[in-house]
Chain A
């Protein structure tokens, strides 16, 4: 190698060592730096590896090529081809007692001095070393040396030429090669063919030649210019690559006449071509003055179907570093790992990544294939569940029976994890709506009930122009404010907002108490203030400040409140309206906004977005006139719809507007679970029939199925059919009598559902007819269970073979016949079956049908039959 262009080589056996050679040989040791700091003096190769220089050998000047001894040697035995054609064995080890000691320093000298171009160790006979030399008249250019050949003159005639006196003792010269080949030619590249120990492929001056050492007079050759860098594919021994200028030729030795294919010509001449040793058909090429390594993936060579098929190649390029690359070397064993060296000897270690293909499982774990490994990655159990993906959240919520608490509706937000204020608001709204609908229905079975679920917007609309305002006294203060007379509708609205409880009592006291209990002092104080009870508000704030979790600053706020004065131009008013903007808590902020506002303009309260919608709406119901209120509600509704804010359900109710709102919520979050349950809470049928609602429900059911939550899905379906009877699935299986063909349950109003479904566990219509063991149509007996041999229709006895009195059957008939154990079940393949309970216990231990002489493997026919619903395996 010339001094400016270093080459690089991995040790064939010591996988953590490599050699860089330019004017001298430097041995490096590679270490992983994943768990340790970079050591002093070592060079960083990549993010997680570094190299340490072990030794430098500068014994061999004029190096042209280097080859690493292929057998394991701790001493790093290398053959160096020199510019004068000599091949020197040298070592980078420090230990001089090794068995190779006598080899080190051995020199193999050709007859005429000329440049040595290439060296190749025989992969099978590790002592054979082939050297390719330049042309020298009629001399041979390929010399094969046996490194163990004795230098003693009695075996091989030996000359000692051009020896300096000092070297005589140490240098051992061999001049008689084992074989001499390629007369009158030059050899540019060499490689041994792994097919046979004695086959050598050489890139000669104008041809590629295969020499057979068994018969040295013969050679196979093909004329070509592509004679440089011959190299055999380690995985496909008949495939050889060579190059010339910018062109790579791929040869098939079985069809040696012409290249199987030539790779796209590069504008610059190539300098190195190498097959990847760890992966089939991957060829790396490097051109001069370039910082990318081009990779050709050739393993897709198909079996030729037609003659015209040409193997296709996938081309990739990698850029391991920013500088030009002088040389590279594949790691012999690490997958697709390679090290590159630049002309100024900076090195970098990198891996050519395989394309990673990936797939998600329904339970939020990600699987991918990288190289030869499959990896699975799951979402970390994160305490901060706010950051969990909605998929995980919905799965956990489904497990905690979210949405299914139809009595205490508000509890659903706790089932959802009690972390999302919007969900909390939504379920409270739905809770109040349900409560007051029931109230209404009891009081007057008119059409008010539907109004409740229609939301405050419709409630307010219906009461247009019926309210007069009146002045009310502030309690504890000598002040009066305009407050709207509360008519029935406004009371209802306030009730829905949660400010006042059931009944005609308009006292907010209980609500304040519950807020205080939950530690929401600021909110409680604000609500008290809005109900014109400033004394109570101050009291609440004091309470909050003195409680354990409370904020001491609340005392300060209380103090400020108590200083309230009605005067328009007072200092208090001025300071409060500026300082209130600095308050962090929105409720404290609106309290002062309310106190400092002009009568009739409450924008500071109404448009404070951080205050819960229900409080703002309640405030509006109390203080705004009908037209104002309507305008405000309208505006707020549109705002909520736009944002998909679930608090807005309070306004829209479960109407078309609500569906619009929910649509933007789903668009934003993908939470079809909440959408489905919310809409199933009490929407009128025409809303339920909305395409979008149906679509959410459908999607949620699919999700549950994909999670294998089959029982949850069934629960959901039951829940759904309560509200929407038309969604009840049609009976999928009917049991009909063998004799008369009539359904034994007489409920044949629908057509059997087609499909494979889960019909193995097919259920019958309930056979609750007068005589249970016979067909109600023709009175013929029903078939017998294959296990207990009793006619179907009889309940399962706990002890097989035992009989039960008829009396007992009659008594328990109604209850027992509906139980799953008594149901009909049968295999779709062999048509044998019996009581479901018996069948289940049979197939727990058996794979074959219980009927003797039937070899049907009923249970294995349905692969999903072996699966456990995922709820069962959940912790």
Chain B
């Protein structure tokens, strides 16, 4: 959060959330935190305005922290390569090993790898991709299919008036062992605040949600390999399947559910909206909630699953940038 700290909440078996750790992580606002796949242990990465990204691991056993309901987190490494604010940090899908991508305001995406998953203090910078635009967000393609090579989408919040495409997609090329630009979404020219690939779930195409001045959903269908010249980057058929300006303002965050079938978005209007596709692939709003959890009047026009508020947890957290993360054990 913007008070430079990260908090970890644990859900107890009775369904209550407890803050089990809160510690100062950076000397600037923390933009985002992200969990590594639990296979690698309880590992967090955070990135901050202070031009660094850090990897944290929960350690147990040395003190009786558990008895006090607190857990102990230690910094395993600080990634200091960026010369400017690090705006996003994401762990790669687990089949790629323990890899971490960061992007920074100077327009460079860096991909790190921990060659030894038992030693999180060693990270080597594997790739540097220059995007030429100030980056604000990245998203790994979660697909683990062998048919899809590793792919990363980068969004830019560059607000200069020149109408340049703000979303670029890079793909790993087995032959050159480098990431190369595969696609640029030419239609997105406004500053992009968040970007998210949907969990692939065996689909033959990828779904990409973009938070800019509206919510947009794209599908990227890889053109079958035999049609493209082998070795080159994969070509995609890109379709915009939905575009919503219901927030009527800048959209800050988009997030997919586990199956990639429901999208949640939050915007400057202080509302959280849920989007879902019907069987005809028409995306529709299925729920609106105000930031304080109260339902918005007249939001039930769709009549579908009107989400009910489960619980709210007051915290002293001052989270403008909203980098909060509940712990999920998967």
Give the B-binding residues of A (Cβ under 8 A): 34, 47, 279-280, 297, 299-300, 302-303, 305, 312, 316, 318, 351, 353-362, 364-380, 382, 387-391, 394, 663, 666-670, 672, 675, 691-692, 695-696, 698-700, 702-703, 705-708, 755-757, 847, 856-857, 860-861, 863-864, 867-868, 873
- Write out the residue numbers on chain A whose beta carbons fall within 8 Å of the beta carbon of B306: 380
A376 in contact with B17 given A302-B50, A364-B257 (CB within 8 Å): yes
- Write out the residue numbers on chain B whose beta carbons fall within 8 Å of the beta carbon of A669: 279
Q: Does any Cβ of A come within 8 Å of B281's Cβ?
A: yes
Q: Label chain A's interface by main secondary structure.
A: mixed
The answer on a CB contact under 8 Å between A670 and B27 is: no
Q: Does any Cβ of A come within 8 Å of B203's Cβ?
A: yes
One of B29, B252, B317, B323 near A300 (C-beta < 8 A): B29
**Highest count of chain A CB atoms <10 Å: which of B117, B258, B294, B326:** B258
The answer on a CB contact under 8 Å between B307 and A377 is: yes
A827: shortest Cβ distance to chain B, in Å? Answer: 11
- Write out the residue numbers on chain B whose beta carbons fall within 8 Å of the beta carbon of A388: 305
Q: Does any Cβ of A come within 8 Å of B119's Cβ?
A: no
The B298-330 residues at the A interface (CB cut-off 8 A) are 304-326, 328-330
14 A-B contacts (beta carbon < 8 Å): A356-B266, A368-B266, A371-B292, A372-B314, A372-B317, A373-B293, A375-B312, A376-B309, A380-B305, A705-B330, A857-B60, A861-B60, A863-B42, A868-B13
A35: shortest Cβ distance to chain B, in Å? Answer: 11
The answer on a CB contact under 8 Å between B266 and A355 is: yes
**Highest count of chain B CB atoms <10 Å: which of A300, A692, A864:** A300
For A754, the closest partner residue in chain B by CB is: B117
One of A318, A358, A373 near B255 (C-beta < 8 A): A358
- Write out the residue numbers on chain A whose beta carbons fall within 8 Å of the beta carbon of B252: 355-357
B33: shortest Cβ distance to chain A, in Å? Answer: 10
The answer on a CB contact under 8 Å between A378 and B28 is: no
A377 in contact with B28 given A355-B266, A361-B328, A372-B314 (CB within 8 Å): no
The answer on a CB contact under 8 Å between A362 and B310 is: no
A380 in contact with B145 given A299-B2, A369-B322, A666-B203 (CB within 8 Å): no
One of B27, B146, B289, B312 near A374 (C-beta < 8 A): B312
The answer on a CB contact under 8 Å between A372 and B319 is: yes
A459: shortest Cβ distance to chain B, in Å? Answer: 28
For B64, the closest partner residue in chain A by CB is: A847
The answer on a CB contact under 8 Å between A377 and B289 is: yes
One of A370, A387, A670, A705 near B259 (C-beta < 8 A): A670
Complex CA distance for A359 and B264, rounded to whole angstroms: 8
A357 in contact with B266 given A47-B297, A756-B41 (CB within 8 Å): yes
A402: shortest Cβ distance to chain B, in Å? Answer: 16
The answer on a CB contact under 8 Å between B261 and A860 is: no
- Write out the residue numbers on chain B whose beta carbons fall within 8 Å of the beta carbon of A368: 264, 266, 272, 291, 322
The answer on a CB contact under 8 Å between B66 and A366 is: no
The answer on a CB contact under 8 Å between A353 and B305 is: no
For B2, the closest partner residue in chain A by CB is: A299
A377 in contact with B253 given A297-B320, A389-B261 (CB within 8 Å): no
- Write out the residue numbers on chain A whose beta carbons fall within 8 Å of the beta carbon of B253: 355-358
For A857, the closest partner residue in chain B by CB is: B61
One of B269, B291, B293, B316 near A354 (C-beta < 8 A): B291
One of A300, A318, A667, A868 near B2 (C-beta < 8 A): A300
The answer on a CB contact under 8 Å between B322 and A354 is: yes
For B281, the closest partner residue in chain A by CB is: A668
- Write out the residue numbers on chain A whose beta carbons fall within 8 Å of the beta carbon of B305: 379-380, 382, 387-389
The answer on a CB contact under 8 Å between B321 and A675 is: no
The answer on a CB contact under 8 Å between A374 and B313 is: yes
The answer on a CB contact under 8 Å between B310 and A365 is: yes
Q: Does any Cβ of A come within 8 Å of B38's Cβ?
A: yes
**What 19 additional pairs, Cβ within 8 angstroms, besides A369-B1, A699-B200, A699-B201?**
A300-B49, A302-B27, A302-B50, A353-B291, A360-B256, A366-B264, A366-B272, A369-B324, A373-B292, A373-B313, A374-B9, A374-B324, A376-B17, A387-B304, A695-B147, A698-B144, A705-B330, A861-B61, A864-B38
**Highest count of chain B CB atoms <10 Å: which of A34, A389, A868:** A389
Complex CA distance for A34 and B50, rounded to whole angstroms: 42
Complex CA distance for A374 and B276, rounded to whole angstroms: 23
Complex CA distance for A376 and B15, rounded to whole angstroms: 11
The answer on a CB contact under 8 Å between A374 and B258 is: no
The answer on a CB contact under 8 Å between A378 and B307 is: yes
B211: shortest Cβ distance to chain A, in Å? Answer: 10
The answer on a CB contact under 8 Å between A355 and B320 is: yes
A353 in contact with B61 given A380-B305, A863-B41 (CB within 8 Å): no
What interface size band does chain B fall in?
35 or more
A377 in contact with B268 given A359-B255, A391-B259, A695-B202 (CB within 8 Å): no
The answer on a CB contact under 8 Å between B320 and A354 is: yes
One of B146, B258, B268, B270 near A362 (C-beta < 8 A): B258
Q: Does any Cβ of A come within 8 Å of B237's Cβ?
A: no
A331: shortest Cβ distance to chain B, in Å? Answer: 15
- Write out the residue numbers on chain B whose beta carbons fall within 8 Å of the beta carbon of A372: 314-319
A358 in contact with B264 given A389-B305, A706-B330 (CB within 8 Å): yes
A287: shortest Cβ distance to chain B, in Å? Answer: 20
The B196-219 residues at the A interface (CB cut-off 8 A) are 200-205
Q: Does any Cβ of A come within 8 Å of B5's Cβ?
A: no
8 smallest CB-CB distances across A and B, nearest first, come from: A357-B322, A353-B270, A356-B266, A370-B291, A706-B330, A857-B61, A391-B259, A860-B60
- Write out the residue numbers on chain B whose beta carbons fall within 8 Å of the beta carbon of A708: 329-330
Q: Does any Cβ of A come within 8 Å of B46's Cβ?
A: no
A437: shortest Cβ distance to chain B, in Å? Answer: 26
Complex CA distance for A860 and B59, rounded to whole angstroms: 9
- Write out the residue numbers on chain B whose beta carbons fall within 8 Å of the beta carbon of A305: 50-51
Complex CA distance for A356 and B310, rounded to whole angstroms: 17
For A361, the closest partner residue in chain B by CB is: B328
A422: shortest Cβ distance to chain B, in Å? Answer: 10
- Write out the residue numbers on chain A whose beta carbons fall within 8 Å of the beta carbon of B129: none
The answer on a CB contact under 8 Å between B202 and A696 is: yes
A773: shortest Cβ distance to chain B, in Å? Answer: 32
The answer on a CB contact under 8 Å between A353 and B60 is: no
A360 in contact with B264 given A300-B29, A354-B291 (CB within 8 Å): yes
Complex CA distance for A389 and B304, rounded to whole angstroms: 10
- Write out the residue numbers on chain B whose beta carbons fall within 8 Å of the beta carbon of A360: 255-258, 262, 264
- Write out the residue numbers on chain A whose beta carbons fall within 8 Å of the beta carbon of B330: 362, 705-708
B38: shortest Cβ distance to chain A, in Å? Answer: 6
Q: Does any Cβ of A come within 8 Å of B174's Cβ?
A: no
Complex CA distance for A303 and B49, rounded to whole angstroms: 11
- Write out the residue numbers on chain B whose beta carbons fall within 8 Å of the beta carbon of A376: 17, 309-313, 326
The answer on a CB contact under 8 Å between A351 and B270 is: yes
B291: shortest Cβ distance to chain A, in Å? Answer: 4
Q: Does any Cβ of A come within 8 Å of B85's Cβ?
A: yes
A695 in contact with B145 given A378-B308, A670-B261 (CB within 8 Å): yes
- Write out the residue numbers on chain A whose beta carbons fall within 8 Å of the beta carbon of B29: 299-300
B265: shortest Cβ distance to chain A, in Å? Answer: 8
The answer on a CB contact under 8 Å between A369 and B28 is: no
A371 in contact with B291 given A355-B266, A675-B202 (CB within 8 Å): yes
A375 in contact with B60 given A355-B321, A867-B329 (CB within 8 Å): no
The answer on a CB contact under 8 Å between A280 and B266 is: no
A670 in contact with B293 given A369-B317, A379-B307 (CB within 8 Å): no
**Highest count of chain B CB atoms <10 Å: which of A300, A357, A670:** A357
Complex CA distance for A299 and B328, rounded to whole angstroms: 30
Interface string of B268-296 (1 = CB under 8 A from A): 11101010100101000000010111100
The answer on a CB contact under 8 Å between B308 and A377 is: yes
- Write out the residue numbers on chain B whose beta carbons fall within 8 Å of the beta carbon of A279: 318, 320
Complex CA distance for A394 and B1, rounded to whole angstroms: 34
A356 in contact with B270 given A668-B281, A692-B202 (CB within 8 Å): yes
The B137-164 residues at the A interface (CB cut-off 8 A) are 144-147
Interface string of B237-267 (1 = CB under 8 A from A): 0000000000000001101111111101011
Complex CA distance for A65 and B85, rounded to whole angstroms: 43
